[in-house]
């Protein structure tokens, strides 16, 4: 919960070494691997655990089914297994949270809020706090998408009362303030956010500037976003992540397709198997009218995904539809 991923990995791995059937350790370890970009380790862990599925009681089997669906299947499959788990263990707030996340992954934010709220209601009845910071900005983001900004502000305040100075919560809090036109509050929050990322999270200035670009972009302040993205890339011009951040922004918002594609091509030369970079290139090519080439690259992105990616799925659906219309 303190986001010390290295220590978490070590202790969870030791737990599994002691008892390979201890499923409760597999869930956080798998998500720790995914959070730190160790996608292959996550897949290997899932496959290793799944080999022992038939030896487990029903809830353990369903938990493994959920993990397998998270890595290899779709959010609809995840939802199916999570609802079966909750029929057995309806007061387990973790699975209500994960159910909300499954709906969020498909951009079904109205449904997502219902299940996130259920997780928090359980803890409210117990007089405890949900000791996981992610639910607060996940729920806040879902509220943001359905224009429930009063509830959005309240859930960020709740999260920060439990996890003071949590950077992701403050990031989303800033997006909310900017979206509501509260620029004075937003400037205070941006200053605070930058300080935390630099001094607590030890991020380089280039990454901080790029993440501020994301804040402005999510608030539909595209001029300010572009300035921050470009500043981040200028400070670290050889970093493919900074190339990707600016490229995606330029392409998705139809600001400069040619420059965006040049940037993402440079990033792909450094990381040719990155599914996000391939998706960005495919999306840019589609917007240039190169539909067949775009579809091939988007399918490559899909095949390299670490888990289900709804954005890539939607891009493929749109490009296939366009290609079908051309052929007819």
> CATH number, domain at 275?
1.25.40.10
Percentage of residues of the chain with pLDDT beyond 90: 86
C-alpha radius of gyration, the chain, whole number: 21
pLDDT class of 182 with cuts at 50, 70, 90? very high
Does the structure show a pLDDT above 90 at 27? no
C-beta of residue 269 within 8 angstroms of C-beta of residue 299: no
Q: What is the pLDDT of residue 24?
A: 84
In a domain, 253, yes or no: yes
- Distance between CA 45 and CA 306 in Å, rounded? 13
In a domain, 8, yes or no: no
In a domain, 258, yes or no: yes
Does the structure show a pLDDT above 90 at 222? yes
In a domain, 130, yes or no: no
- Give the distance, in angstroms, between the CA of residue 2 and the centroid of all CA atoms in the same chain: 18
The number of distinct structural domains making up the chain is 1
C-beta of residue 113 within 8 angstroms of C-beta of residue 148: yes
Backbone angles phi, psi at 76, to 5 degrees: -60, -35
Position with higher pLDDT, 325 vs 247: 247
Task: Write the burial class of residue 238 (CB in 10 Å: 0-12 exposed, 13-18 middle, 19+ buried).
Answer: exposed
Does the structure show a pLDDT above 80 at 129? yes
In a domain, 292, yes or no: yes
Note the pTM of the prediction, 2 decimals: 0.92
Tens of pLDDT, residues 262-291: 999 999 999 999 999 999 999 999 999 999
**Which structural domain, as residue segments, surrounds residue 264?**
245-328
End-to-end Cα spacing for the chain = 54
Q: What is the pLDDT of residue 52?
A: 83
Tens of pLDDT, residues 211-220: 999 999 999 9
In a domain, 281, yes or no: yes
Backbone angles phi, psi at 131, to 5 degrees: -85, 55
Q: What is the pLDDT of residue 73?
A: 94
Quick one: CA dihedral 158, 161, 167, 171, positive or negative? positive
- Distance between CA 56 and CA 79 in Å, rounded? 21
In a domain, 25, yes or no: no
CA distances from 189 to 166, 195, 245, 263, 264 (A): 12, 10, 22, 30, 31
Look over the chain and give the mean of its residue pLDDT values, rounded to a whole number.
95
Q: What is the pLDDT of residue 188?
A: 98
Tens of pLDDT, residues 79-118: 999 999 999 999 999 999 999 999 999 999 999 999 999 9
**Can you tell me which residue has the tokens 């979206």?**
179
Average pLDDT over residues 191-198: 97
The lowest-confidence range among 51-60, 113-122, 293-302, 303-312 is 51-60
Does the structure show a pLDDT above 90 at 34? no
Q: What is the pLDDT of residue 51?
A: 86
Does the structure show a pLDDT above 80 at 62? yes
- Distance between CA 168 and CA 138 in Å, rounded? 10
3-state secondary structure of 191: helix
In a domain, 254, yes or no: yes
């Amino acid at each position: 919960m303190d986001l010390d991923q290295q220590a978490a990995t070590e202790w969870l791995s030791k737990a599994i070494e002691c008892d390979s059937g201890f499923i409760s350790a597999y869930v956080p370890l798998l998500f720790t691997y995914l959070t730190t970009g160790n996608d292959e380790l996550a897949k290997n862990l899932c496959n290793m655990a799944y080999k022992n599925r038939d030896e487990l009681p029903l809830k353990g089997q369903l938990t493994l089914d959920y993990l397998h669906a998270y890595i290899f299947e779709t959010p609809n499959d995840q939802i199916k297994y999570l609802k079966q788990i909750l029929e057995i263990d309806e007061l387990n707030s973790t699975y209500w949270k994960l159910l909300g996340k499954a709906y969020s992954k498909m951009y079904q934010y109205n449904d997502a809020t219902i299940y996130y709220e259920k997780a928090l209601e359980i803890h409210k009845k117990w007089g405890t706090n949900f000791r996981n910071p992610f639910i607060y900005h996940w729920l806040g983001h879902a509220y943001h998408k359905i224009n429930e900004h009063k509830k959005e502000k309240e859930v960020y305040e709740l999260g920060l009362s439990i996890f003071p100075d949590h950077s992701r919560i403050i990031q989303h809090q800033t997006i909310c303030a900017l979206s509501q036109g509260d620029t004075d509050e937003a400037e205070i929050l941006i200053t605070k956010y930058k300080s935390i990322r630099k001094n607590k999270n030890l991020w380089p200035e280039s990454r901080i500037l790029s993440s501020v670009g994301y804040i402005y972009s999510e608030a539909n302040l595209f001029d300010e976003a572009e300035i921050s993205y470009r500043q981040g890339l200028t400070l670290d011009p050889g970093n493919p992540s900074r190339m990707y951040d600016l490229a995606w922004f330029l392409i998705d918002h139809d600001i400069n397709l040619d420059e965006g594609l040049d940037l993402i091509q440079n990033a792909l030369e450094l990381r040719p198997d990155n599914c996000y970079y391939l998706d960005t290139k495919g999306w840019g090519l589609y917007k240039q009218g190169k539909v067949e080439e775009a579809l091939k690259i988007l399918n490559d992105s899909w095949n390299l995904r670490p888990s289900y990616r709804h954005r890539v799925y939607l891009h493929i659906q749109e490009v296939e539809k366009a290609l079908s219309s051309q052929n007819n």
